[in-house]
Structure 1
Amino acid sequence: MQVTSTDVKNNFGKYLKACKTENVIITKNGRRQALLLFYPGGAEMGRVGEPAITYGTTPQKEERVTYRQFLEMTEKSDHRYELIDGKVYLLASPSFIHQKVLGNLYSAFREYFKEHEDCGPFLSPLDIELMHRPLALLRELTEDDINVVQPDLVVLCDYEKDIDASDKYKGTPTLAIEILSPSSRSKDQIKKLDLYMESGIDECWIVDPSNHAVIVYVFHNHEIEENAMYMRGQTARSVRFPGLQVAVDALF
């Protein structure tokens, strides 16, 4: 569901109820600005995520950097970084529960793709270069429009053709998964979700260890076509890959 900020202001209670069954995207002046999500259990029943500055940690450089500058910086560092909309972010070290969930996801995905060998799951760290493709309708895209991210897990299809001479992947994943942490929650649910939607990725899973939930987003023509939330006792299912499913209880 997509609504204006004015409508939310005038009917906030209505949309708090609505977000129990679907995510509410809030727009201002025609642009997506926030996402209203339902969080079952605890005192926090609904949450408005607004674009914030922090992601993992605060940006390592407040000023915008070019794509080439980012490559030069990361080539000399052992740390993990992402480049999002011209800003550089240091990725925090993952927690135990993060790695447990990631391992369980990978095992389930790996088993499924044994029978679907044209695609396969790959774990972070793996640099994925993405662009906001709708920008091409407004102007010519340049290399400085490239964002470099490291989803926790990606599914790549027919990927051999997308490996360059330096053994770097240069294609677009079919599916991406982000596992939320306290430091990355707002960015993963808003900024990176928006990037995945506009880059040509077909499907994104947001895994929330705090609430034992999995949200599956399906994209079409750079918009959210459908989404579903799966809780304990339920089974998360892929739309892009029929038969790919994971019991939520088995993740945590």
Structure 2
Amino acid sequence: MHEDQVREALPERYEVIRGQVHDMTPPPGEPHQRVVGGIYGQLYAQLKGKRCRAYVAPFGVWLDETSGDYVEPDITIICDPAKIKPQGCVGAPDMVVEVLSSSTAVKDRAVKRELYREKGVREYWLVDPVHQTAEVYRFDGGALAAPAVYGPDASVSVGVLDGVVIDLREVFA
């Protein structure tokens, strides 16, 4: 099969994890996008004029230069400008936020969490619009520990970004 034929056979939006293509259609619904917008808006405002940058999906992330793993996190935080390329991010972001939906929750909680930990992402948030919670994993030294879980009234400090706090009341309002 030629490269053009392979491209035509792929879904419109997809991720490649450990050589397996994951279809990302249909697009996310309104609750998902509202939560993504709420978190991204706070991050964007608090990161103005700072070294780290926040990117919202669709934004391509190649977790390293050799494996072929390609993902599109809902929100990606990158503090090393050398990782930002014209096509997206090449290398592990400092932080990733995934907002759960019924079609992605299993992949986000298991496959992507482990992939991000292995590849060097330092902080991983799983945000649940239905239950109005945020699970925060901090991968210190690559270890997997139980997440800190926050409810809808919490203000959560971002571990990898000094002084940055996300107000979940605003996110889930």
Matching residue of 1:162: 83
1:5-27 CA-to-partner distances (Å, cap 9, x unmatched) read xxxxxxxxxxxxxxxxxxxxxxx
Match of 1:146 among 44, 61, 68: 68
Q: Please state how far the C-alpha of 1:171 moved relative to its aligned partner.
A: 2.6
Q: Please state how far the C-alpha of 1:163 moved relative to its aligned partner.
A: 4.1
Match of 2:109 among 183, 189, 193: 189
Matched, 1:88 2:9: no
Aligned residues: 169
Q: TM-score, normalised by structure 2?
A: 0.87
Question: 3-state SS of the aligned residue for 2:159?
Answer: coil
Distance change in 2, residues 1:153/1:170 (3 Å): same
Matching residue of 2:96: 176
1: CA distance between counterparts of 2:63 and 2:8?
A: 19
2: CA distance between counterparts of 1:128 and 1:196?
A: 11
Matched, 1:125 2:58: yes
Q: TM-score, normalised by structure 1?
A: 0.61
- Amino acid paired to 1:207: V
Question: Do the aligned residues in 1 keep the contact of 2:11 with 2:23 (CA within 8 Å)?
Answer: no
Distance change in 2, residues 1:78/1:182 (3 Å): closer
Distance change in 2, residues 1:113/1:98 (3 Å): same
Q: Please state how far the C-alpha of 1:213 moved relative to its aligned partner.
A: 0.3
Distance change in 2, residues 1:154/1:171 (3 Å): same
2: CA distance between counterparts of 1:201 and 1:120?
A: 15
Distance change in 2, residues 1:172/1:250 (3 Å): same
Match of 2:34 among 93, 97, 100: 100
Q: Identify unmatched segments of 5+ residues in structure 2.
A: none
Matching residue of 2:171: 251
Q: Please state how far the C-alpha of 1:220 moved relative to its aligned partner.
A: 2.0
Question: Do the aligned residues in 2 keep the contact of 1:219 with 1:226 (CA within 8 Å)?
Answer: no
2: CA distance between counterparts of 1:168 and 1:123?
A: 11
Q: Identify unmatched segments of 5+ residues in structure 1.
A: 1-68, 132-141
Once superposed, what is the RMSD of the aligned Cα atoms? 2.4
Question: Do the aligned residues in 1 keep the contact of 2:98 with 2:108 (CA within 8 Å)?
Answer: yes
2: CA distance between counterparts of 1:100 and 1:125?
A: 15
Matching residue of 1:202: 122
- Amino acid paired to 2:83: D
Which structure would you say has the larger Rg? 1
Match of 1:218 among 99, 119, 138: 138
2: CA distance between counterparts of 1:183 and 1:246?
A: 25
2: CA distance between counterparts of 1:86 and 1:222?
A: 22
